[in-house]
Amino acid sequence: MWYLKSAFDAYQKVQDAVQSRLGDVQSAILSPVDMMKKFLGATPAGQTSQESEVEMLRRRVAELEGRTGKSERTKRRKRVSQ
């Protein structure tokens, strides 16, 4: 009897783990962005946090574009002066 109970308990633990993983897969199918946040350890952020992150990324892109544009203009000037 003891063996059957321990075998059933082990089976139940495995079933619970499988159900949990299936729930994760289902949520990944329904919401890939949320799943990636969960995978990366990020907690769901509020709208204001997401907006500030977007603004920060926009400023960074503008800064990098400015640097790229500056270096391209400098290269063109050097070519023209040669």
Residue type, 15: Q
Structure confidence by residue, pLDDT tens digits, 17-61: 998 888 877 766 777 777 677 777 755 555 566 678 888 888 989
Structure confidence by residue, pLDDT tens digits, 6-17: 999 999 999 999
CA torsion through residues 45, 51, 52, 55, sign:
positive
Q: Torsions phi, psi of 74, nearest 5? A: -65, -45
- Residue 80 has what DSSP assignment? H
* Domain residue ranges of the chain, discontinuous segments joined by +: 1-44, 45-82
